[in-house]
Amino acid sequence: METTRVTTTDKDVESLETDLLVYFATQVKDKAPKCDKAVAAQVKKAFNLGDFKGKQGEQLFYYPAVLGKKKQPNAKRVLVLGLGKVASEEDRAMGCECLREAGGHLAKVCEKIQAKEMIISLPLLDILGADKTAASLIEGVLLGDYRFTKYKKVTRKKTDYPGLGAVKFAATSSVKLVRRGVLQGKIWAQAACAARDMAHEPGNGWTSADFAAFAKDIAKRHGLDYRCIEKKEMEKLGMGGILAVNQGSVIPPRMVILEYQPAKKSETILLVGKGLTFDSGGISLKPGAGMEDMKYDMCGGAAVLAAMQAVAEEKPSVGVVAIIPATDNMPSGSAVRPGDIIRHYNRVTAEIINTDAEGRMILGDALAYGIETYKPDCVVDVATLTGAVVIGLGHHYSGLISNNDTLALCLEEAGKQAGEPIWRLPLNKHYKKQIESKVADIKNIGGKAGGTITAAAYLSNFVGKTPWAHLDIAGTAWDFTEKAYIPKGPSGIGVRTFLTLIRNWETGKLK
């Protein structure tokens, strides 16, 4: 929940009153699980009875008041949550993911017991610092505690759980580190939740104007540069791609731009996100069944804008520019037709064979304009671009296509660290040949075979030699792998991957 108060304390947790006090236990082969000495006796007892091994997600509850002894915790309930073995292994990314899932489990427990607040006694893990541990846990809690209730006011019961009011972290050492981790985890989780909020909004609740307003608000609050290219200016600039897609719509298109530059001159990362606020397919109309899901076709734009919210708050030492080409794709007497030829911002002409392959058309203009204007050191675009990526990778990996091996590696690594896995697909001249047109420079579809790659082949015409990576999140932006901290519906995917990429870029770990 966005309004959840998150704090850190170095007070003795046993003296604090709360709905739920949480400790953790890690699994040890053939031995009692490792845990804080405050709960060691209970854990050992449960282990000896065969009730608790500390497996991932395993829960051991007890109720201190009932035991009646003195010096019992003041909490109404104590929970020991199993972390499994993962956290004791070498792999840091897996450790973080395990903690995020633990946080998600905690959010579910809190909903079940209707907890207003909980205190988390931070586990000490050898492989992760206290900051990463706290960050991952709070990410999991806040992402798991997410709910979208804006349009459910009348039928919602008073007793429905409103979400966590407060979370307190208790740490007796490294309090400064924990504070830093908690703050960062909170910023990242809130950004991902903001992306989910945008995605949840239907086509009549989130238009190009809403993208613009959200960006403007970030700029105002944090001093970023905001620009919005309106329809008239698009016409002047010759942005034939986004204009063509918008032709059937009564809502004007917008190219929303946010620029963050650090005080000290640095490299610049350009992020471009598909902000298609509703994709009917246009004249190449989609079938009716499931068409309502196409309100999610703006998840790329949401990811980019939400990431900027966190960038604005964290102020990294690398520059970040975000561009969101935003419009809906509607059929009408004025809509673009199959067979029409359009001219993009960079003068490349395209024959429109299928008006439902519209994402690449709006991204083409945004990529070419962004690269020319901001001369970034690399560009990453993110889009719910093809149904084909769902066939190829299912709902568990986002597809990646890139013209640069180093950038591709950076993204794969960032995705792994964020718990948002990415799988690279190839691109070469044979795929590019599939989108050759008889009458224009290119055409906008390349046949059934390799649909995700031929879509990327189209985009490759707008990036020149700039290191570029394209993420196809059509399979992961919603219905993403079920996890304790990813509820059904929009996942907010991409946000934390981008923030991780930016962080790694800053520290120069991968370049």
**Residues classed as catalytic:** 286, 360
Q: Let me know: does 260 contact 318? Beta carbons within 8 Å.
A: no
Coil, strand, or helix at residue 415? helix
Q: Binding marks (x or -) toward ligand BES, 389..408, rule CB under 6 A?
A: -x------------------
DSSP characters for 69-113?
A: -TT--SSS-EEEEEEETGGGSS-HHHHHHHHHHHHHHHHHHHHHT
C-alpha angle with apex 480: 474 to 481, nearest 5 degrees?
Answer: 140
Min separation Cβ 115 and ligand BES, Å: 36
Q: Which of 75, 366, 380, 388 binds ligand BES (CB under 6 A)?
A: 388
Min separation Cβ 323 and Zn ion, Å: 17
Closest by Cα among 79, 75, 132 to 107: 79
Binding window for Mn ion (CB under 5 A); candidates: 100-108, 110-118, 313-321, 358-366: 358-366
Count the site residues for Zn ion by CB under 5 A: 4
- Contact between 357 and ligand BES by CB under 6 A: the answer reads yes
Q: Which is nearer to ligand BES, 42 or 355 (CB)?
A: 355
Which of ligand BES, Mn ion, Zn ion, none binds 386 (CB below 5-8 Å, type-dependent)?
ligand BES
Which of ligand BES, Mn ion, Zn ion, none binds 451 (CB below 5-8 Å, type-dependent)?
ligand BES
Q: Which of 19, 279, 365, 420 binds Zn ion (CB under 5 A)?
A: 279
- Contact between 279 and ligand BES by CB under 6 A: the answer reads yes
- Contact between 356 and Mn ion by CB under 5 A: the answer reads yes
* Other beta carbons less than 10 A from residue 312's beta carbon: 19
Q: Which is nearer to ligand BES, 68 or 287 (CB)?
A: 287
DSSP characters for 292-340?
A: GGGGGGGHHHHHHHHHHHHHHHH--SSEEEEEEEEEEE--STTS--TT-
- Contact between 351 and Mn ion by CB under 5 A: the answer reads no
- Contact between 328 and Mn ion by CB under 5 A: the answer reads no
Closest by Cα among 104, 120, 108 to 36: 120
**Who contacts 211 (Cβ-Cβ below 8 Å, separation ≥6)?**
254, 256, 275, 277, 298, 301, 305, 324, 326
Q: Let me know: does 59 contact 77? Beta carbons within 8 Å.
A: no
What does the alpha-carbon distance between residue 46 and residue 39 come to, in Å, rounded to a whole number? 11
What does the alpha-carbon distance between residue 46 and residue 49 come to, in Å, rounded to a whole number? 5
The total number of residues written for the chain in this structure: 511
- Contact between 384 and ligand BES by CB under 6 A: the answer reads yes
- Contact between 279 and Mn ion by CB under 5 A: the answer reads yes
Which of ligand BES, Zn ion, Mn ion, none binds 474 (CB below 5-8 Å, type-dependent)?
ligand BES
Q: Let me know: does 229 contact 255? Beta carbons within 8 Å.
A: yes
Q: Which of 180-204 are b and which e, b meaning 16 or more Cβ less than 10 Å from the residue's Cβ?
A: bbbbbbbbbbbbbbbbbbbbbbebe
- Contact between 297 and Zn ion by CB under 5 A: the answer reads yes
Count the site residues for ligand BES by CB under 6 A: 16
Min separation Cβ 436 and Mn ion, Å: 21
Q: Which of 354, 404, 434, 504 binds ligand BES (CB under 6 A)?
A: 354
Q: Which of 359, 376, 490, 494 binds Zn ion (CB under 5 A)?
A: 359
- Contact between 495 and ligand BES by CB under 6 A: the answer reads no
Radius of gyration of the chain from its Cα atoms, rounded to whole angstroms = 24
CB-nearest residue to ligand BES: 387
Residues that bind ligand BES (CB under 6 A): 279, 297, 354, 356-359, 384-388, 390, 445, 451, 474
Residues that bind Mn ion (CB under 5 A): 279, 356, 358
Residues that bind Zn ion (CB under 5 A): 276, 279, 297, 359
